[in-house]
Amino acid sequence: MYQLAPNIELLFTEAGDYHDRVRAAAAAGFDAVEMWGPTGVDAPAAPKDLPALKAALEETGTQLTAQLAEPRTQFMIPPWDHSEFFRKLDEGVEIARDLGCPRIVVGSGTGFGGWKRQVQLDKLVEIYQKAIAQIDGSGIALALEPVNVRVDHPGALLDRTAEAVYVARGVDSPFFGVLYDIYHSAVEGEDMAVELANAGDLVTYVQLADAPGRGEPGAGELDWPERLRTLRASGYGGPIGLEYYPQTESAASIARISDWAAGA
């Protein structure tokens, strides 16, 4: 059975602050959660009370599976000053280690029309090779997320799973992989089985939401038993982040995906 990790930015919000959402998720039977940026540098993430969050994770025995890198740097826009990203990367790694989080999710930022696409992809390889070298020995991995540009992230450079895989192959590190988001991939019209077959073991984290609408599983048009069977057939056995906007109370909204995941 897959380990499901509700996103505490969007789920269990009725419980109150982030540490209370962890407790609510644990009370609902979950042993993992995920979140966005820990310090709230980038909207829509909000600042967390990190000591209180750590206490809740430890008290409940809950695993924090992923957090976002801060800031969400626009790597390809001149003057190409990435110093704040690299400075905050050390801080993010320190927070991740303190919270027991094994991975930080990173992105591509906005593409730049003055460069050929291939040049920009190769620039991302260079940036993330440097990032991996900087955090060497920390035990923290980076997961590169391609996102859809059709609805949610217009202008983003990485909107194709295959291009994120290209970057990950170029970085060539066991601590660098691809976040495959079933929702983003579906919105972009990708064939899930084909993308996962191409990615192989470079997929190190998975997230989901239904499409259209980025709502709870069952609210949209995706066939979730089929999607989860496809994911299982690809060989992926890691955690799945539940990053969606619920239409019902949080625990109830997760019930169907929990049942489907149990059979996958």
For residue 91, give Cα distances in angstroms to 70, 71, 179, 262.
9, 11, 21, 36
pLDDT at position 30, please?
97
Residue ranges per domain, the chain? 4-262
> Worst-scoring range by mean pLDDT, 6-10, 113-117, 220-224?
113-117
Asked whether the predicted pLDDT for residue 1 surpasses 90, the reply is no
In contact, 22 and 8? CB cutoff 8 Å: yes
User: What does the angle CA 174 – CA 177 – CA 182 come to, to the nearest 5 degrees?
Assistant: 150
Question: What is the secondary structure of 88-129 as a DSSP string?
Answer: HHHHHHHHHHHHT--EEEE---B--TTS-HHHHHHHHHHHHH
Per the prediction, the chain carries an average pLDDT of 96
Give the rounded percent of residues in the chain with a pLDDT score beyond 90. 90
pLDDT in tens, 143-193: 999 999 999 999 999 999 999 999 999 999 999 999 999 999 999 999 999
In three-state secondary structure terms, 63 is strand
The length of the chain, given as a count of residues: 264
* Distance between first and last Cα of the chain: 7
- What is the pLDDT averaged over residues 239-262? 93
Q: How confident is the model at residue 213 (pLDDT cuts 50, 70, 90)?
A: very high
Give the separation between CA 264 and CA 46, rounded to whole angstroms.
Answer: 34
Lowest mean pLDDT among 18-32, 45-59, 106-120, 221-235: 106-120
Phi/psi at 240 (5° precision): -125, 120
pLDDT of res. 78: 84
pTM over 0.95: yes
Q: How far apart are CA 108 and CA 232, in angstroms?
A: 27
Architecture category of domain 4-262 in CATH: Alpha-Beta Barrel (3.20)
Q: Does 120 have pLDDT greater than 90?
A: yes
